């Protein structure tokens, strides 16, 4: 029997033994993100496509007449036209939760960097600027603040938002969240209180952390009007998706010290454009979309993907089915 054709539409990390399991399950075609034309040609006889960032749109779906499933590597499904896929009756899955711990920990790495100026202090020492043993001679900017007793406002209280809440509690933070899909559905052990609306969270929080997906409803969610609700002392952390926060307004506000600092792992355009004002500021910490990149996450994602692929190929229902309604 002809083996199913499985396209890896971009070059994500997989465990070696899971790569072998995929090779046993089907004929694998490895593409890279810039091979859009090849993807459009090769999808015509493909059974499965696995994509982390590659666009899965109507053009591709119209060509993929044999497609039995789309597997998203990671959680964000903003590169998939979910309406179009649903219209074709093709199942879409993601690996929700598999890298939640990784993203939650990077969130705190960015947060701690913002409040203790770790990256700046590192450059200060490496640049041989540390010339006096008197702590009073150090620049004032190295007197940070502590997380304990600060209000952490989480936007999007899913797998990652909840992990962030748990870690925040561990730091002694007072955690609140805004998530329009969760009214009244939380169990009492969840360590956070709901905020009635986004505006109150933005006005109240000392540190705001964004964990909502990028959807038509969240695109530009933190626009100029919303960002101006933040306190001048506040810190904004974004590890979910660029496009949710207006980067130009944010950069201007950071430059004018209208908010204290920001830590960003994701950007509207990736890689971040060389012309971005964010690159010129010293009250930002920027990372190249590495939130979900840990060895542990690769293990979890690899195992989830092979399970989902095997289920779809053998006609079973895979775990983590995504619909336009449950994003």
Phi, then psi, of 85 in degrees rounded to 5: -65, -45
> What's the length of the chain?
327
Q: Element (H or E) spanning 81, and its range? A: none
Structural tokens at position 327: 């994003």
Residue selected from 21, 109, 239, 300 as contacting ligand NAD according to rule CB under 6 A: 239
**Pick from 181, 196, 269, 323: which binds ligand NAD (CB under 6 A)?**
181
CB of 8 closer than 8 Å to CB of 50: yes
Comparing CB distances to ligand NAD, the nearer of 43 and 221 is 221
Tokens 């989902």 belong to which residue? 308
Pick out residues in 39-68 that bind ligand NAD (CB under 6 A).
none
Of the pair 291, 318, the CB lying nearest ligand NAD is at 291
Q: Nearest 5°: phi and psi at 50?
A: -110, 125
CB of 268 to ligand NAD, least distance (A): 13
Nearest residue (CB) to ligand NAD, 46 versus 278: 278
At its nearest, how many Å lie between ligand NAD and the CB of residue 106? 7
Q: Point out the residues that are catalytic.
A: 241, 270, 289
CA distance 158 to 179: 8
Residues 261-320 touching ligand NAD, rule: CB under 6 A, are: 265-266, 289, 291-292
- β strands within 149-305, DSSP E: 151-155, 174-178, 193-194, 207-210, 235-238, 261-264, 284-286
How many other CB atoms sit within 10 Å of the CB of residue 37? 8
Contact range with ligand NAD by CB under 6 A, out of 18-26, 45-53, 211-219, 268-276:
211-219
Asked whether position 110 contacts ligand NAD by CB under 6 A, the answer is: no
By C-beta, is 23 or 217 nearer to ligand NAD? 217
| Cα separations in angstroms, 73 against 4, 10, 11, 150 | 19, 10, 10, 34
* Shortest distance in whole angstroms from residue 125 CB to ligand NAD: 28
Helix (H, G, I), strand (E, B) or coil at 121: helix
Q: Is 161 in the site for ligand NAD (CB under 6 A)?
A: yes
**Which of residues 27 and 287 has its CB atom nearest to ligand NAD in the complex?**
287
Residue 213 in contact with ligand NAD, rule: CB under 6 A:
yes
Q: How far apart are the first and last CA of the chain?
A: 37
- Our finding on whether 200 is near ligand NAD (CB under 6 A) is no
Report angle CA 67, 308, 215 to the nearest 5 degrees.
Answer: 75
Q: Which of 83, 139, 180, 232 binds ligand NAD (CB under 6 A)?
A: 180
Q: Quick one: which of 44, 76, 80 has its CA closest to 62?
A: 44
Q: Does 96 bind ligand NAD (CB under 6 A)?
A: yes
Task: Supply the minimum distance, in Å, between the C-beta of residue 300 and ligand NAD.
Answer: 11
Among 73, 108, 157, 267, binds ligand NAD (CB under 6 A): 157
Residues that bind ligand NAD (CB under 6 A): 74-76, 96, 99-100, 103, 155-161, 178-181, 211-214, 217-218, 239-241, 265-266, 289, 291-292
């Amino acid at each position: 029997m002809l083996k199913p054709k499985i396209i890896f539409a971009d070059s994500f990390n997989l465990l070696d033994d899971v790569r072998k399991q995929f090779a046993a399950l089907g004929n694998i075609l490895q593409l890279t993100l810039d091979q859009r034309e090849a993807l459009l040609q090769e999808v015509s006889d493909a059974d499965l496509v696995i994509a982390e960032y590659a666009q899965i749109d109507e053009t591709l779906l119209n060509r993929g007449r044999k497609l039995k499933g789309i597997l998203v590597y990671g959680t964000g499904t903003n590169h998939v036209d979910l309406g179009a896929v649903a219209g074709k009756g093709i199942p879409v899955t993601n690996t929700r939760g598999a890298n939640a711990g990784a993203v939650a920990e990077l969130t705190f790495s960015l947060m701690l960097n913002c409040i203790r100026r770790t990256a700046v202090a590192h450059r200060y020492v490496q640049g041989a600027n540390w010339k006096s043993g008197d702590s009073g001679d150090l620049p004032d900017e190295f007197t940070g603040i502590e997380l304990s007793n600060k209000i952490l406002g989480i936007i999007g209280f899913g797998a990652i938002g909840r992990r962030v809440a748990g870690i925040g509690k561990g730091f002694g933070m007072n955690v609140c969240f805004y998530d329009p899909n969760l009214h009244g559905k939380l169990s009492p052990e969840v360590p956070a209180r709901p905020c009635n609306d986004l505006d109150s969270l933005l006005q109240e929080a000392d540190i705001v952390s964004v964990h909502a997906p990028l959807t038509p409803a969240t695109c530009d969610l933190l626009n100029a009007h919303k960002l101006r609700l933040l306190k001048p002392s506040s810190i904004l952390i974004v590890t979910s998706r660029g496009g949710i926060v207006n980067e130009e307004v944010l950069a201007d506000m950071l430059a004018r010290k209208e908010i204290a600092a920001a830590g960003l792992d994701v950007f509207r355009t990736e890689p971040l454009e060389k012309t971005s004002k964010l690159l010129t500021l010293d009250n930002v910490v920027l990372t190249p979309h590495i939130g979900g990149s840990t060895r542990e996450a690769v293990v979890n994602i690899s195992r989830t993907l092979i399970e989902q692929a095997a289920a779809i190929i053998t006609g079973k229902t895979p775990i983590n089915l995504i619909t336009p309604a449950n994003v």
